[in-house]
Amino acid sequence: MKDLKTDILAQEPKLKIMPYSVPEGYFETFKAEMKPCVRMSLTERLMPYVAMAAVFVFLVTVGTLFLQKTSPAEIMTQEDYLVFSGDMMNTVEYEMAYGSQIADAEIENEDIINYLIYSGVTVEEIELSK
């Protein structure tokens, strides 16, 4: 494989040397900064997520119980709702009330990328489907 007359990878020892450098004192700072995060135990770090999950379960349970107690006759149909909300609110007020929520709901490229990666889609598959 290695023809020495033309094998530049074997002939040039400098190619094996990393041509990059790092800011002065970078590794020492990095090691020092990595240490404090270890001090927080796994339980402590997981606690906020456990709390969020508990709140979510609570809300789902309460929501389900509420829906079960509400009789079907009391649930407003989508058509009734549109008529009702049309009477209650004009377009300008609707924008004022929900405009910020619509803006917040915008999907970022990062979200799309994360979704594609975790759903197992590859770039090659997307390119093939073009």
Partner 1 sequence: MTDERIIELYGCGQSEEAFRGITDAYTERLYWHVRRFLCSHEDTNDLLQDIFIKIWTAMPAFRGDSRLYTWIYRIATNEVLNHLRKQKFKALISLDSASGILERKIDDDAYFNGDELQRELHKAIQRLPEKQRIVFSLRYFDEMKYEEISEITDTSVGALKASYHHAYNKIKEEMLKRF
Q: Which residues are at the interface with partner 1 (CB under 8 A)? A: 1, 6-9, 12, 14-23, 26-27, 30-31, 34-35, 37-39, 42, 109, 112-114, 116-117, 122-123, 126-127
The residue with tokens 């929900």 is 98
Q: Cβ(9)–Cβ(15) under 8 Å? A: yes
* Pick 60 or 126: Cβ nearer partner 1: 126
Q: How far is the CB of 106 from partner 1 (least distance, A)?
A: 15
Cα-based angle 60, 66, 67 (whole degrees, multiple of 5): 90
* Pick 75 or 113: Cβ nearer partner 1: 113
* Pick 103 or 123: Cβ nearer partner 1: 123
Give exposure, 106-118, as e/b (b: 16+ Cβ within 10 Å).
eeeeeeeeeeeee
Q: How far is the CB of 104 from partner 1 (least distance, A)?
A: 21
Q: How far is the CB of 56 from partner 1 (least distance, A)?
A: 22
* Pick 1 or 103: Cβ nearer partner 1: 1
